[in-house]
């Protein structure tokens, strides 16, 4: 994991969005809130606030939940892309972020259904 700069970490800790898991609407969250760098660019984790998402220990598969099968990286990536502004994404060229977002929406919808996507959008909107 890439270390989060102290100034950014303070912003995260002060932001109510980061106080609960992005998948809390599922009702299965357990454990402490962790921070996941959900997006990779040029072989490195994107260390930008939009790309870091709050995930409970269960959905991040850390602590006693290791290898529990609850982590879904594509949901975390989609959440980060839904939070990102066009200006955020311009910093990371050579990726068609809109196409990636569409691909992830398709995958997550197939896996969990349209209501899941709606719930994820509502969760992201509670920044």
Task: Answer with the residue of higher pLDDT: 126 or 84.
Answer: 84
pTM of the model: 0.92
Split into its structural domains, the chain has a count of: 1
Residue 1 lies in a domain: no
Mean pLDDT, rounded, for 62-81: 92
pLDDT exceeds cutoff 70 at 75:
yes
CB 55 within 8 A of CB 23: yes
Mean pLDDT, rounded, for 43-72: 92
Q: Domain range holding 98?
A: 6-125
pLDDT score at 38: 95
Distances 122 to 35, 67, 98, 107 between C-alpha atoms, Å:
20, 28, 19, 18
pLDDT tens digit string along 81-124? Answer: 999 999 999 999 989 999 999 999 999 999 999 999 999 999 99
pLDDT score at 15: 94
Residue 13 lies in a domain: yes
Determine the Cα–Cα distance for residues 96 and 93; give it in Å rounded to an integer. 8
């Amino acid at each position: 994991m890439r270390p989060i700069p102290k100034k950014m970490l303070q912003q995260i800790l002060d932001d109510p969005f980061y106080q609960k898991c992005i998948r809390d609407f599922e009702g299965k969250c357990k454990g402490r809130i962790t921070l996941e760098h959900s997006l990779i660019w040029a072989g490195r984790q994107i260390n930008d606030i939009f790309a870091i998402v709050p995930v409970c220990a269960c959905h991040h598969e850390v602590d006693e939940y290791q290898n529990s099968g609850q982590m879904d990286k594509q949901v975390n990536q989609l959440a980060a892309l839904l939070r990102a502004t066009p200006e955020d994404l311009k910093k990371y060229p050579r990726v068609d972020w809109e196409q990636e977002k569409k691909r992830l929406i398709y995958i997550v919808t197939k896996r969990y259904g349209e209501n899941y996507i709606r719930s994820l959008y509502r969760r992201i909107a509670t920044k």
